[in-house]
Amino acid sequence: MTDPFALFDEWYAQARDTEINDSNAMALATADARGRPAVRMVLLKGHGPDGFVFYTNFEGRKAGELLENPHAALLFHWKSLRRQIRVEGAVGPVDDPTADAYFATRSRDSQLGAWASDQSRPLPDRQTFMDRFDTVSARFAEGPVPRPPHWSGFRLTPERIEFWQDREHRLHERRLFERAGVGAQGDWREGLLYP
C-alpha cells in the first residue's frame, strides 16, 4: 500500500476497535516564534487527504503558537496495537462553516464550556470557572448555543507521515511517506526504514 491516507484509515479503524479510551487522542507539538517547543494531547476530529483537524480556543497558548509559527507535528500512539504514527506539516485555520458544523455536534455542556473557558489563563479557583459556566448556561438557556468567536479549528496538511510498528528484539519497522509535490495534492514517495 503506497497511499498513506488509506494506511492511516486502516490503522485508525483498528485502534478504534482496540483502544479503551480516546483512540483519536494525539500529541500535538508546536513551537513559538523563537522556536521553543511545547506539546500537549488533543483529539482528532476530522482527517483525510487534505489533512488532520482538531479544535481549540484561539486565545490559548497552542493557538497563539500555531498562528505565530504555522508548522506542527502530531503523534498517535496506540499501545495496545504497538503502533504509532507521526505526522508533520503546515497548519492553518479551518473555515467558519467547518468549525460551525463540528461545534454543532458537541454536547451542550461542551459548547457552554467553550464559552466559559479562558484557556491557558489562570483563575483564582475552580469555583470561578464553574460560576462562569453557570452564567453562560443562563445566557443560552433558550435555543442552540452558537460557536464562540474565539473558538475554531486547525488543519495540519501533512508533508511527512511515518508509520511505526513494534517488532521483536527492537527490530521495528517504519514506513515513511514524504510529499513530493506542492500542496495538499502533491504525490507521495515512500521509503521503508528500520531502526
Question: In terms of DSSP H, where are the helices of 117-187?
Answer: 126-139
Per DSSP (E only), the strands in the chain are 25-31, 37-43, 46-48, 51-57, 71-78, 83-93, 151-165, 173-179, 188-193
Q: Strand 51-57 and strand 71-78: pairing?
A: unpaired
Choose among 115, 58, 124: nearest CA to 91.
58
Q: SS3 of 86, please?
A: strand
Question: Which residues, at least 6 apart from 48, have a Cβ–Cβ distance to it below 8 Å?
Answer: 5
Q: How many CA atoms lie within 13 A of 112 on its CB side?
A: 19
Choose among 38, 42, 32, 113: nearest CA to 70.
32
- Could you confirm whether 170 is annotated as catalytic? yes
Give the dihedral sign, CA 50/51/57/63: negative
Q: Which of 34, 40, 170, 175 is catalytic?
A: 170
The catalytic residues are: 170
